[in-house]
Structure 1
Amino acid sequence: MITLNLNNGVELPALGFGVFQTPPEETVRAVEVALQTGYRHIDTAAAYGNEREVGEGIRRSGTPRDEVFIETKVWVSDYGYDETLHAFDKAIGKLGVEQLDLLILHQPATDRFEKTIAAYRALETLLADGRVRAIGVSNFMPHHLERLLAETSVVPAVNQIELHPYFTQPAVQQADAEHGILTQAWSPIGGITFYPGFGDERRSVMDEPVLTEIAAAHGKSAAQAMLRWHLQEGRSAIPKSTNPARIAENLDVFDFELSADELARIDGLDTGVRSGPDPDTPRPERFAMVISEP
């Protein structure tokens, strides 16, 4: 497993295991299998509704707590200073741990950005108190980052964004790099079914001829070629699956290397079209979600 050094010195396993849209009843076994297969980084979120099952899966795997990097996210309905401190308590209560390795804000609340700032200041407090080892954000565009950095003290360690060969967000990656923020990819192999209603006409990245050709040259799948692309370009990636064979396949990306030409060909597939929601679009309904107590 490749590890990446965050801007505060914490080491993060570059390839994580995601549980977005994984039903709670399937999450325990998926996490258990992932850890037994060799993953050491689990990514969840309050809004996924499966933090409790992630914690149970970690325990059932038999993997020592200090060998598992746990990342979770605060949902917008829990933004605000005191609210976010309580969101942390809810998260660790469900996960069954005392400390989080990485806690991030799930997305910018563009129409209530003052609450986003207050939430991040709560993360800074949790970091200073040693209750989290690193803090960060998700789905922040460069202008969101600039405002956040102007009003807070700690530079985010991570910015988790939609990023796959058809949507590479070069401006966000550049802004992250300029500030020493690690870019982490959600939907790293395309997110074909993640967001019904958002870009229903989109193509499957898995069927992209450039990727299938590159993958075949290395005796790998298109998904493996994409994950290798992320790793070689210095990103963290969070693939997801509940299929044990696919879970293992997604981890089997450390025994080959893409050439500079192959990396450039994959970079050239960018369409600039999102598969998921635009972070700048106000969606007041998000604030109606109630994150349950432990």
Structure 2
Amino acid sequence: MMSILLLLVGIISQSGAILDANYYEKTCPQAENIINQAVRKAAANDPKVPARILRMFFHDCFIRGCDASVLLDSTANNKAEKDGPPNLSLAAFYVIDAAKKNLEESCPRTVSCADVLAIAARDVVVLSGGPKWNVAKGRKDGRISTANDTVNLPAPSFNTTQLIQSFSQRGLSAKDLVALSGGHTLGFSHCSSFESRLRNFSSAHDSDPTLDPQFAAALKSRCPKPNSDRNAGQFLDSTSSVFDNDYYRRIVAGKGVFGSDQSLMADYRTRWIVEAFARDRGLFFWEFAASMVRLGNVGVVEDGEVRTNCRVVN
């Protein structure tokens, strides 16, 4: 495992809030250990947990910033983010619930759900063999969560221009885009997210011509028409339980599952970064850790609350 410690004692988030790696040093010094124990226990019982927690963190930060709004349940009067179409496949909320329950027993009303999710996202990367970084803390939990906002999540069909624009709106660069896309090394996708690339792609091509032909044929066999298996799909790299740079090597080889992933290789603004990460795992690890720190700073809430239950506002 490669360890990368970004020694950030105090950093200013995109929203101007001050975050501090030692934020809970006096009020809840055992916070990170409590969260790590919950993550390890869950991952030992379900190997899908790392990918699910990492994806949950991305989806939280991209809507309203990293404020744990994705964790809120819908109510009679409000349909929350987790029930928006792109988030219906999110899972493993119980892991955050378990960590929060233990934190409330040890340090009541102290550790925000937003910080729990940020720390858990780092921990699942490390647990899967990826880099380690210091998580700056001090986020507060937001009180607003609306399913309609999920239309702003980048889609698997986006091209690179659309992706760069989406990331730029959140203060993230093209390099951040490519680095954070590497989180797909732990990913799995159902057929519905990429089957448009496999058949009737255009008047000139049945399948997306950027797909390796043999890989396209393999995907077609996994996602036949008609397809009665709603769980059918494809892992996004060949070492799906290990955090590594195989994802980039597959994109270079024309084996990116999502159109958005493969587009990174087709665009001059991102191709060189994909190729660099495919060659050098250490470089990818370093840049991924740095980009996760920047992602964790997006839209940090200054005047929110510390929820006692991550699913409901206080």
TM-score scaled by length of structure 1: 0.28
Q: Which has the larger radius of gyration?
A: 2
TM-score scaled by length of structure 2: 0.27
Instruction: Using CA pairs under 8 Å that are at least 6 residues apart, name the structure with larger relative contact order, 1 or 2.
Output: 2
